[in-house]
């Protein structure tokens, strides 16, 4: 049987990081008894997986600077309109249009929406290598801005999706009121996921990420038909 992209990514990751078996199984979809635990922090509804059989949660922490796997295996970097302005300034472009012409590609791809529906996305993506073509979109390559110490050359004006990772977020229109939701992306590329009996350990992370996720999602120009905006890395 052919290996899935996630399986391949996890195998690569396991060469350098110890991933708990329960987390491996969960990421590979082998845990079926999973429920959606929701925590609201600063206006963001976080969806945390709760493993019923194990009676515990799938949580996350970042190992940077010891890890920069997300930048090493970057799939695509969709930019919001504020990303375009900030990053073009950082790269010393006088005109955003010149930046768009030289440093970005237009990409169209399909991804799963928050309701499990299929959503077609068309976005301006930052090139991850100088000679990147539209056909390279979605492939996992080392981002050109990552330096040998693991620092991002664009920081602090790196794309919003880089700040968000490994969260993805979406905007829900609930009877005319905007609600921001966030959940983890499980691509098999991040060693930061771990199993815990209590979700207390995530409190500080959720507090730190909530404001950023809220602002990013409310300002994001990623919109789709059913009144959803869906953002991910
Ligand atoms: S988000 Fe995950 S992959 Fe990226 S640096 Fe942190 S631990 Fe590593
Ligand atoms: S822009 Fe920076 S943070 Fe984003 S993938 Fe590239 S190196 Fe990593």
Q: What is the pLDDT along the chain (233 residues), one digit of tens a residue?
A: 677 889 999 999 999 999 999 999 999 999 999 999 999 999 999 999 999 999 999 999 999 999 999 999 999 999 988 899 999 999 999 999 999 999 999 888 887 766 667 778 888 999 999 999 989 988 999 999 999 999 999 999 999 999 999 999 988 888 888 899 999 999 999 999 999 999 999 999 999 999 999 999 988 755 333 333 444 43
Q: What is the pLDDT of residue 178?
A: 85
Q: 145 alpha carbon to ligand 2 midpoint, in Å?
A: 6
Q: For residue 146, which atom of ligand 2 is closest to its CA? A: 7
91 burial type by CB count under 10 A (0-12 exposed, 13-18 middle, 19+ buried)? middle
Q: Rounded to 10 degrees, what is the CA torsion of 85, 89, 93, 95?
A: 30
Q: 142 alpha carbon to ligand 1 midpoint, in Å?
A: 14
Q: 108 alpha carbon to ligand 2 midpoint, in Å?
A: 21
37 burial type by CB count under 10 A (0-12 exposed, 13-18 middle, 19+ buried)? middle
Q: For residue 151, which atom of ligand 2 is closest to its CA? A: 7
The DSSP code for 78 is: B
Distance CA 101, CA 209 (A): 32
Q: What is the pLDDT of residue 226?
A: 36
Q: 54 alpha carbon to ligand 2 midpoint, in Å?
A: 35
Distance CA 162, CA 173 (A): 25
Q: Is the minimum distance from the CB of 63 to ligand 1 under 6 angstroms? A: yes
Q: 192 alpha carbon to ligand 1 midpoint, in Å?
A: 6
> Could you say which ligand is closest to the alpha carbon of residue 151?
2
Which H or E run contains 182?
strand 177-184
Q: For residue 111, give the 3-state DSSP assignment.
A: strand
User: 12-33 burial, b if ≥16 CB within 10 A, otherwise e?
Assistant: bbeeeeebeebbbebbeeebee
List Cβ neighbours of 100 (8 Å cut-off, separation of 6 or more).
Answer: 84, 88, 124
Q: Dihedrals φ, ψ of 181, to 5°?
A: -120, 150
Q: 228 alpha carbon to ligand 2 midpoint, in Å?
A: 26
N-terminal to C-terminal alpha carbon distance within the chain: 28
Pairing of strands 177-184, 193-196: unpaired
Q: Is the minimum distance from the CB of 9 to ligand 1 under 6 angstroms? A: no
Q: Is the minimum distance from the CB of 186 to ligand 1 under 6 angstroms? A: no
Q: What is the pLDDT of residue 109?
A: 84
> Could you say which ligand is closest to the alpha carbon of residue 70?
1
> Could you say which ligand is closest to the alpha carbon of residue 141?
2
């Amino acid at each position: 049987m052919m290996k899935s992209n996630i399986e391949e990514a996890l195998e690569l990751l396991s060469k350098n990081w110890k991933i708990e078996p329960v987390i491996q199984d969960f990421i590979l979809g082998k845990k079926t008894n999973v429920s959606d635990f929701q925590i609201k922090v600063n206006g963001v509804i976080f969806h945390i997986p709760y493993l019923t059989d194990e009676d515990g949660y799938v949580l996350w922490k970042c190992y940077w600077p010891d890890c920069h796997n997300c930048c090493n295996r970057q799939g695509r970097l969709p930019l919001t309109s504020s990303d375009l302005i900030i990053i073009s300034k950082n790269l010393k472009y006088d005109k955003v249009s010149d930046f768009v012409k030289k440093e970005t590609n237009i990409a169209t791809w399909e991804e799963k929406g928050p309701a499990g529906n299929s959503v077609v996305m068309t976005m301006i993506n930052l090139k991850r290598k100088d000679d990147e073509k539209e056909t390279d979109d979605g492939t996992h390559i080392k981002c050109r801005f990552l330096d040998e110490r693991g620092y991002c050359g664009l920081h602090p004006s790196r794309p919003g999706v880089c700040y968000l990772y490994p969260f993805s977020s979406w905007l829900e229109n609930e009877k005319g009121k905007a609600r921001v939701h966030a959940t983890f992306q499980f691509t098999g590329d991040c060693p930061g996921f771990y199993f815990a009996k209590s979700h207390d350990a995530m409190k500080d992370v959720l507090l730190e990420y909530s404001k950023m996720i809220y602002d990013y999602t409310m300002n994001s120009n990623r919109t789709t038909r059913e009144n959803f905006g869906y953002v991910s890395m």
